[in-house]
Amino acid sequence: MIAAARKPSSARTRPMEARLVDELPKKGAWQFEPKWDGFRCLAFRTGVKVELRAKSGKPLTRYFPEIVAALKNVPAKRFVVDGELLIPQGATLSFDALQMRLHPAQSRIDKLSRETPAVLMLFDMLADTDGASLMDEMLDSRRHALEAFFKAAKSERLKLSPYSRKLLDAKRWLSRAGRGALDGVIAKPLEQPYLPEERAMLKVKCLRTADCVVGGFRYATGSKDIGSLLLGLYDDDGRLDHVGFTSGIAKAGQSALKKKLAPLRGGEGFTGNAPGGPSRWSTERSGQWEALKPVLIAEVRYDHVTGDRFRHGTKFLRWRPDKAPKQCTFDQLQKEARPGRLMKKLFG
């Protein structure tokens, strides 16, 4: 008995995901692609109707009218594509601008769609231009269909993500990622169908480091243990701006850390942008923090920079007694290159 073909559904289908690994796979048949830093998006078209869905399944359609318009202008009337919503701004991709697009006011959405238009970076196809499901097809077949779709679309709002099947190319991209070109590399098995919600792909992220001044700390919730160190960098005017935090401090290291911080308590802390209240990502976190003399330097590992802050928590690597606090400036932080510039850098 032949199994029925799986069909993508805007109500039920979620994107295939990737598992974080330390290095690129050396054996097997793989397709390597840049890892883009935006909003994952499945785009569905049925007749005149276009739907955009986030990785969570939440609708994105109303927030990106320029992408909806671009997909409505595609000659094909039925298709499902997988990609990443990105906003090029100046010489970089702006995740801040992307977040600002999720606004409740329609007038604001319309204004931002004109001022900071998005692009949809395409990298997979779940249903072809006849509406036939491609989910059971291998990656090579899906990629051929996607390339034909992109060629016919002829839209400045749609981009086609580059790829290579050579490990040496992927290693070269990853080495350039360390200089801010991209966020990492995705490895996709060539002999595999599209598997929604499964971590069937691999991702290798470029993790960068920065030397930061410890301008303060927060206690762990309901405890006298130190929960996080607050990190700062000096701006061009010599002010210490709060840029993020590092946490995950082991119980075994609490005593030594408290001794290290004790003589520094009561210092001036941050002289520029200071820590605010609860994080927008975690509203339960206390807004209270203790200021320190800006003496200690911590080397931390980070992944993304949004604006002038680490988007996520960082990982503490080591103390840097060999560095002066004033050497800890913003020029250490690396920002992502915009798509066109990145493609030119990678492919010439």
CA–CA separation, 193 and 141 (whole Å): 10
Counts for the chain of helices (H) and strands (E), in that order: 7, 19
Please check whether residue 265 is in contact with residue 290, taking contact to mean a CB–CB distance below 8 angstroms. yes
C-alpha closest to that of 110 among 69, 157, 159: 69
Q: What does residue 269 show for φ and ψ, rounded to 5 degrees?
A: 65, -135
CA–CA separation, 270 and 210 (whole Å): 18
C-alpha closest to that of 78 among 33, 123, 144, 127: 127
CA–CA separation, 183 and 135 (whole Å): 27
Catalytic residue list contains 171: no
111 Cβ contact partners less than 8 Å away, ≥ 6 residues apart = none
Q: Would you give the DSSP letter of residue 28?
A: S
C-alpha closest to that of 209 among 317, 308, 345: 317
C-alpha closest to that of 302 among 292, 293, 291, 315: 315
CA–CA separation, 191 and 183 (whole Å): 25
Active-site option among 35, 159, 188, 205: 35
Please check whether residue 182 is in contact with residue 169, taking contact to mean a CB–CB distance below 8 angstroms. no
Beta bridge partners of 326: none
Rg (CA), the chain: 23
Q: Which active-site residues does the annotation give?
A: 35
